[in-house]
Structure 1
Amino acid sequence: MNWQISQIEISSFKAFKYIHLDLGDSSLLTLDGPNGYGKTSIFDAIELLLTGQIKRIHDLFSTLMTKNKTNYDDNLFWNTRSGTKDLSIKIEFVDGARKLVLARYAPAKTFSTKTNNRADKFKHFKLYELPDFSSSDYSTNNARDNQYLEEVFGVNFRENFSFLNYLEQGQNRLLHTRVDERKDALGNLFNISDIATEVESCKSILTKLTKFIGDDERKVDEENLKKECSLLRDMIQADLGSIEFKKLSTIEVGPGWDHENPFPTYSVEVHRLYIDTVQKISTLVPMKATIHNRIHNEAIETDIEKNKESFRSLVQFGVDLFKLTELENTKKELDQLEKANSIIKRGANVITLEEAQSLPGWSVGRLEWFEEKIKERNNLQIKNTTNDNVAAELTHLKKQLIEEHAKLYPNDQRCPLCDKDWTTHNLMLNAVDERARKISESLSADGKTLVTLITSMTEELATIDIHVQSLIVTHSIAFNRALHEELIKIKVRLPAIIQLAEELKYKGIQTKDTFSDNDEVIAERLERLSASLRARKIVETEALPDDWKAVINTAFKELQDFYAIDLQDLKNKKQYIAIKANEAQSARLQKCLEDLRKIERENEAALRAKDKFSRLRTTLEKAEQSYANQTISEIELIFHIYSGRLIQNYQRGLGLFIESKEGKQLRFLTAEKSDHDAVMSMSSGQVSALSLAFFLSLNKVYARVPLILIDDPSQSLDEVNVASLTDLLRCELKHCQLIVSSHEEDISSYMRYRFTRAGLSTISLNMQRLSKEVS
């Protein structure tokens, strides 16, 4: 294939807002101009399109930047000076009449995602094949993956691009790689990558086989199986006869020792546990009476502990436990009497018909009379003026006050209204009456009538009040407030406590105590009750094992089921377990022997496989060395010629050689014998010439695409080296399209002159001038 570049268009990439390069069918393109005007950016754009990455920047990022940071605000490749335009690189290739337009494209919105701005991330630069160079149809139909480049330009084209088609500015990085790593770096070029992969696979498999054979856990398993086989052989007994299976346990999921097949897999520990459990049950069978007594005694203690609070309430209230209903009725009557007392105290001036009707103790016909008086009072109150009402009320209040004062202080001479000392109590009463008379005289006729009416009503209420107070005293004597409050607190639990009292009475335990709120008295009563209950215990004559209850509960659902077991059943169970254990031991022995044979077979197979893979690895390594030697020999003569022409007079002889060290290394040698690599004894200019010679030798022998990109080859070369390079390019590699950059105008002109003299077309692009034109 003879694909060559005819046009390049770059938009919003690195230094360029937009640039278009028309190469036509030229054999040599020189990119001229000072540093900083985008010569290297042109090479970066071509490399990004053809390989999907810029290797130089990728390697620099891993060297200079931290690994952990993922988000970057700016993108190294996106030119934003012309606004937020999409990034695109477009190249047209021609091969005779055939044309191929490839492009890399990334929309501007891609760079708003900060993770896409890491300089070593290139996956968002998508590859497209366009129908023509003027097209911008970056649709899914035109999208291609990087593997498409391999289909167009050949297998491993992207991996070998930096070795065969592009020499970066400065020197070939391969020369500064360790001599035993150079061959691995050129693995794809030498077509030994597949062999190297197979060798690594062999190494990995051999490592796994070695680890498998020497695995400590497998060795321990093997040793344990051998010991177990020996132990089982000693344990297996002769024919033990047969016993029919009989289930003894009654719980839903029976214990293992009571299964028809107690040993799915034999275990010495399980066998011992089964025998111990059956023996424990056998020990308990003769102690059934003692167990019965223990259960009875524990039930009493459980009952005492469980009902502790109820027992406390029971002894606190005693025979008063049943008085809650009676007390609540008394409390209800007292509340009604207190309400009546409150109504009476409010006085005849404000009492209503409903309130009067609710009062107890009316004599025959007096309630009807009082109701009529309330109606008359209401009518008079409506007729009277506000002052009359106030005066009438004051008269009533004075009278009521004097009556109450007389009850408390019957001989007091001081006025309860103004605190004046009247010398004697009678003089004080006379003074109050005189004052009341004067107020009454000042009232109107209706007001006087109202005062008289209220006075008669108050006298009637006084009779009712005497009756109410008498009832309050009677009921208060019968009402035990403390008892009532305590009964209310246990009202929810009261039915259960009463039930408990009935049960105790049935057992012959009852109390005649009455209610007490004294804690010491209650504690003493509670202790007496507990002692009465404990007196019902049965004396135990035998000591039971500590785990007797657990032994029974793990096998029997009810205690009666245990009582039904006899010793002969348990003896038969032991014999049955022994028979089944013998059968399981035989089966386990066979399983152990099979597992042991399996481990031995696996070890033997692993040793055979290890031997085969060791021989395969040796064969592959020899083949790799042989092929590497053969491959190196293909470029050795050309490299010797090219290095001699480029380096010219070298103090250690004309031309360099390549040594492979049995295919394990790649070392450059001078004519003089030395154990050191030639690079170590060269100046920077000579190393640059060596780099060019090796690069061009590889291109001459292996390149499938006739394209050579060299970024500023004259940077470290003198005039003689440049002249030799120019002649080598135009004579040996004239079939290739060359793109060369230089910051020295005279060198660029010289190269174009020599190519033109050889009948090859050339073109020169001044990057400084182009940058001014597009800006």
Structure 2
Amino acid sequence: MNIFEAWAKKNKKYSFNELIRIESIWINNFKFVEYSENELGVEINFKEANLVLLNGPNGYGKTTTFEAVELLLTGDIKSFNSTLLNRGNISKSILANNPSKDIKITAKLVNEKGNIITIERCIDCKYGCTSTKKVNEEECTEEYLWQLLKFNKSIFDIGMYISQKESLEFLEKKYGDRKSLILGILDSSNIQEKSEFLKDFEKKVKSSIENNLRAIYYADEIEKIKPKVDILNNIKNVDNMLKERKYSDAIAVGKLVGISIESITEIEISLRRYNKLLTDLKSNERYRATFITNRKNLIGFFNKNIKNNNFDKNVCPLCGNTSMELERLFNMTERVLKENNTLLEKDVDLIKDKIEKYFDEAECINEKAKFLNNTEYKLYLELEKLININISNLTEEKEVMTELKFNNEKDFASENFDNEYSLFKLNIEKEINRLGERLSEKEVKDYENLIDKYYKNGINHKEVDINNKIAFIADKYSTGYSKQISIEKKKLQDRNIEYEKVKNQNKLAEDTVKEYRKKYDAAFKAYQTNLVENIKIPLYITSGKIIQNYPMGLGINVDIKDKQVIFQTDNKEDDIFNYLSMGQLNGVALSIMLSIRSTIDFNDGLDLILIDDPLQSIDDISAFSFADVLVDSFTDSQVIMSTHESDKSDLLEYKYRQYNKSVKVLNMYERYINS
């Protein structure tokens, strides 16, 4: 670390409130300047001179110095054309003396009190020419650098720097682009932030209105839907109850229809056994198939080794025992496996037959019933209806059903069905008679007199009375319904009042914000227009002084419209770019830069004017007038200018010394020869 770097690290942060000048600049690995690893690079010292003149022949670093300053302050070189290729773009890495190394530009700046700040920009030529900025060795953003030095890109392009290659670049722009560039010198970031804030606020107000309207609408809709949701939940609960029914419910139903619990349980157990045996059978079949495959592979391997005389055919390959019947033993093993599987299949078939027997018995009964005579079949149907009797009132009937219980386990014989059925009928008739005797004569008589007791001697209702009753009920219903309608209407009115209130409040807020934003934007637009208007008089005077020998009048007028800026002479309405000479246009370009500077406050920040040899194309009178304007109006500005014409260099030096201003002349050719 050199003394300069150590000092910069010690003095890290400064907020300049005075004019700032560039004291020195170091160029490393840029154009003809070679790469230096341990040094900052080639130094160009401007000291504290008001005017720095870079002179000497072309090709010895004058433009390189200006472009190094431009690259340091803006991160770009305006005259660099990356689109010359038919396809693709040219990289800035071609500006490096050694493209494998970084371009590095460093500057030391000082203010009126002697406070110093260092700025460094490093261009990574290997990876996309990315730019790294440092202020006092701490990385920073472009915006921070510009804020620190109190300028922006537009101010630099049209208010600080006129390059040799792009001296007429501003005048070549379209009318609309000219105004945009001039307006760009304003630091409008704060104004734009406020405008964006107002736009966002306006959107939020509109969104709030929509949300409030939705809330009012959906509040009523939700109330209407709630009962339907409750009904749906009840349906889901019932559905879940049906899905979660257990087998115990089947037992309860079985009692009602006369099927014994033992029969249901036996069927259930048989089904479980049947399913388990099926699973075991499939599993055994898989194991047997695997075993047989492995056995065949083993026998094949065994026979192969017998042929190769590795094994004896009568010696077991597994245990090593000698047996003359080894092949027969292998076959017995396979037969045992098959027999084991056959036993399982027989068990499955037995269980399956037993299950099917229950269903065959029931089917047989149905077939027999078809051959019963008409009378008996009707009697059977009547008896079948007894199944639906409410079991809570049938304590005695339970005993009867127990006595008449059908034993499912008894072997069924179709030839005994008629006898069994006749006996069953007789038993039923006996039980019916027994139950009938329990009703007393008084109870039977009371039953027969029910109609006479309650209706025969009662009030005789006429049709008129019934109609009146219907009308009365309808009136009561209508009254209740009308009351409900009134309540709902009141709710609707309240909602409408609430809606109108919210709507009016939000409309007022929205209109207020919109009007405020319009006025704000209009004021900013007027401010921008006033800025351009303020350039008119300085430009007319300055251009009149610099190109005073022009036969069509002494000054350049500015025609400012909503979206364009046109430069005209007194006698023509066309833009000057198409009919003035190169020297005159350069004089106008210098006049525009100086006029714009006259509208900007440079009381603090970087007060710098960079002019790279545009004087070569203007005549001596214009050069003399320009020198007068420059030294008279921009006394405190730091001016760095280049020219290869010694007479114009001497003229500028003389004018500045006449005003007792410091001048430093750097002959770039001599520096190159002596380096």
Please give the TM-score of this superposition, normalised by the length of structure 1.
Answer: 0.50
State how far apart, in whole Å, the 2-side matches of 1:75 and 1:591 are.
75
- Alignment pair present for 1:487 and 2:336: yes
Tell me which amino acid in the other structure corresponds to 1:56. Answer: K
User: Could you tell me how far apart the structure 1 residues matched to 2:237 and 2:491 are?
Assistant: 22
Report the CA distance shift for 1:4/1:191 in structure 2 as closer, same or farther (over 3 A). closer
Aligned to 1:461: none
Tell me which residue corresponds to 1:197. Answer: 193
Q: What CA distance in whole angstroms lies between the structure 1 residues aligned with 2:238 and 2:283?
A: 51
CA shift, 1:224, in A, is: 6.0
Contact 2:67–2:77 under 8 Å retained in 1: no
Which residue of the partner structure matches residue 253 of structure 2? 288
In 1: Cα distance, 2:580 partner to 2:267 partner: 107
Q: Distance in 1 between matches of 2:674 and 2:106?
A: 19
Work out the CA distance in 2 between the residues paired with 1:592 and 1:659. Answer: 62
In the other structure, the counterpart of 2:76 is 54
Q: 1:490 to 1:309 in 2, by over 3 A?
A: farther
Q: Which residue of 2 aligns with 1:462?
A: none
1:687 Cα deviation (Å)?
A: 3.6
Q: Say if 1:314 and 1:497, in contact at 8 Å, map to a contact too.
A: no
Equivalence map 1:744-755=2 (5 Å): 744-755=645-656
Report how far residue 734 of structure 1 moved. Answer: 3.4
Q: Does 1:735 align with 2:636?
A: yes
Query: In 2, Cα distance between the equivalents of 1:345 and 1:657?
Result: 123
Distance across 1 between alignment mates of 2:658 and 2:492: 90
| Pair 1:765-2:666 in alignment | yes
Q: Which residue of 2 aligns with 1:14?
A: 31
Relative to structure 1, is the Cα distance of residues 21 and 192 closer, same or farther in structure 2, using a 3 angstrom cutoff?
closer
For residue 75 of structure 1, give the secondary structure of its aligned residue in structure 2.
helix
Q: 1:629 to 1:298 in 2, by over 3 A?
A: same
Alignment partner, residue 67 of structure 2: 44
Shift of 1:699: 1.8
SS of 2:135's equivalent in the other structure is strand
**Cα contact 1:708–1:737 (8 A) shared by 2:** yes
Q: 1:671 aligns with which of 570, 577, 598?
A: 570
Query: What whole-Å deviation, never above 9, does each CA across 1:192-241 have from its counterpart, x for those lacking one?
Result: 443233223333443565577579xx988876665555x46xx97xxxxx
Q: Which residue pairs with 1:621 in the alignment?
A: 521
Q: Deviations over 1:646-697 (max 9, x none)?
A: 33355664322335446x65554443584x6554665554443322111111
What is the DSSP-based 3-state SS (H/G/I as helix, E as strand, rest coil) of the residue aligned with 2:625? helix
* Native 8 Å contact 2:183 2:528 kept in 1: no
In structure 1, runs of 5+ residues without a counterpart are 129-137, 237-262, 316-343, 347-354, 360-467, 505-525, 543-565, 568-589
1:484–1:611 distance in 2 versus 1, CA, 3 Å:
same
Q: Assess if the C-alpha contact under 8 Å between 1:228 and 1:592 holds in 2.
A: no
1:292-371 matches, cutoff 5 A: 304=274, 307-308=277-278, 310=280
Distance 1:98 1:157 in 2: 24
Q: Which residue of 1 aligns with 2:472?
A: none
Map 1:208-223 to 2 at 5 A. Answer: 209-210=205-206
1:632/1:274 CA distance change after superposition, 3 Å: same
Q: Which amino acid aligns with 1:47?
A: E
Q: Does 1:122 align with 2:131?
A: yes
Q: Which has the larger radius of gyration?
A: 1
Say whether the 8 Å CA contact 1:658–1:667 is kept in structure 2: yes
Separation of aligned partners in 2, 1:68 and 1:224: 58
Taking structure 1 as reference, are residues 171 and 111 closer, same or farther at Cα in structure 2, changes over 3 Å only?
closer
Change (3 A) 1:92 1:306: same
Using the TM superposition, give the Cα deviation of residue 709 of structure 1 relative to its aligned residue in structure 2, in angstroms.
Answer: 0.7
Aligned letter for 1:307? L
Deviation at 1:615, TM superposition (A): 1.0
Verify the 8 A CA contact 2:267 2:355 in the aligned structure 1.
no
Q: CA deviation at 1:79?
A: 3.2
1:714 to 615, 618, 622: 615
> Within 2, Cα distance between the matches of 1:530 and 1:13?
98
The residue identity in structure 2 corresponding to 1:37 is Y
Aligned-pair CA distance for 1:13: 3.1
Aligned-partner SS, 2:666: strand
Structure 1 residues 199 and 660, CA gap change in structure 2 (3 angstroms): farther
- 3-state SS in 1 of match to 2:93: coil
Q: How much has 1:739 moved relative to structure 2?
A: 1.1
Give 2:134's aligned amino acid. K
Query: RMSD of aligned C-alpha atoms?
Result: 5.6
Which residue does 1:79 correspond to in 2? 97
Q: Cα deviations across residues 456-491 of structure 1 (Å, max 9, x unaligned)?
A: xxxxxxxxxxxx99xx7xx99xx8864532435798
Check the 8 A contact 1:707/1:737 in 2, yes or no: yes
Report the Cα distance in structure 1 between the residues aligned to 2:26 and 2:195, rounded to whole angstroms: 45
SS of the equivalent of 1:56 reads coil
1:164 equivalent in structure 2 = 159
Shift of the alpha carbon at 1:617?
1.0
Q: CA deviation at 1:31?
A: 1.9
Cα distance change on mapping 1:301 and 1:13 into 2, 3 Å: same
Given that residues 110 and 116 in structure 2 are in contact (C-alpha distance below 8 angstroms), is that contact kept between their aligned partners in structure 1?
Answer: yes
How far did residue 299 of structure 1 move? 7.4
Residues 227 and 167 (structure 1), Cα distance of their counterparts in 2 relative to 1, 3 Å cut: same
Retained in 2: the 8 A contact 1:78–1:87? Answer: no
Once the two structures are TM-superposed, the CA of residue 707 in structure 1 deviates from its matched residue by 2.4
2:589 maps to what in 1? 691
**Structure 1 position 728, deviation (Å):** 2.2
Q: Give a deviation string over 1:540-579, Cα, whole Å, max 9, x none.
A: 999xxxxxxxxxxxxxxxxxxxxxxx99xxxxxxxxxxxx
Equivalent-residue separation in structure 2 for 1:314 and 1:633 (angstroms): 103
2:559–2:566 CA contact under 8 A, matched in 1: yes
Moved more, 28-37 or 480-489: 480-489
How many residue pairs get matched? 488
Q: Give the corresponding residue for 1:90.
A: 107
Aligned partner of 2:511 among 578, 599, 611: 611
Amino acid at match of 1:611: D
Whole-Å Cα distance in 1 between the matches of residues 267 and 543 of structure 2? 111
CA distance in 2 between partners of 1:593 and 1:536 (Å): 72
- Using a 3 Å threshold, how does the CA distance of structure 1 residues 182 and 295 change in structure 2: closer, same or farther? farther
2 CA distance for matches of 1:345 and 1:273?
Answer: 74
Identity %: 22
Deviation digits for residues 127-154 of structure 1 (CA, Å, limit 9, x no counterpart): 33xxxxxxxxx6x6xx77767756764x
CA 159–635 in structure 1, closer or farther in 2 if over 3 Å, else same: closer
In structure 2, the residue corresponding to 1:206 is in which secondary structure?
Answer: helix
